[in-house]
Amino acid sequence: MRAHTEYLTFNTGEHRQYVNVTYQVQAALAKSGIREGMILVSAMHITAGVWVNDAEDGLLEDIDEWLERLAPFREDYRHHETGETNGDSHLKSLLVHHQVIVPVTAGRLDLGPWQQVYYAEFDGQRPKKVIIKVMGE
């Protein structure tokens, strides 16, 4: 088995932002030379996430509204007693999770017809990293 690792760095212009990273993930896979295996895409921060879903603007707006309803910004989170103000960002990250594993077949991401890989930023406007780890043969 071989492995290849790359990092993406994000410094989003918005506090909450969703970035389609499918092209960057596929590029890392191509550089790896791996034809069969798995690729892990993982946010390296506790206020960010990664998911696989449809690349449709209306759906992204629906997801954003859903997350805000489930984990709204509030000033009374106990986490804020530490001096932070991002309690809702931690909760949103838990809802979407921080990583995905995508199968690799014949040197391509083996995604469904509408599936794309997204980086979800919930506490942005500062540098954050995502690790891409390709493993296989």
**Which pLDDT tens digit goes with each residue over 74-91?**
999 999 999 999 999 999
Q: Which amino acid is at 137?
A: E
Q: What is the mean pLDDT of residues 10-30?
A: 97
Tell me the CATH number at 112: 2.60.120.460
Q: Tell me how long the chain is.
A: 137
- Show the domain range for 65: 2-136
**How much is the pTM?**
0.95
Are residues 10 and 121 in contact, defined by beta-carbon separation less than 8 angstroms?
yes
| Mean pLDDT of the residues in the chain | 97
Measured CA distances, 57 to 19, 23, 96, 103, 126 (Å): 11, 17, 17, 25, 24
Q: What is the mean pLDDT of residues 79-106?
A: 96
Domain count of the fold of the chain: 1
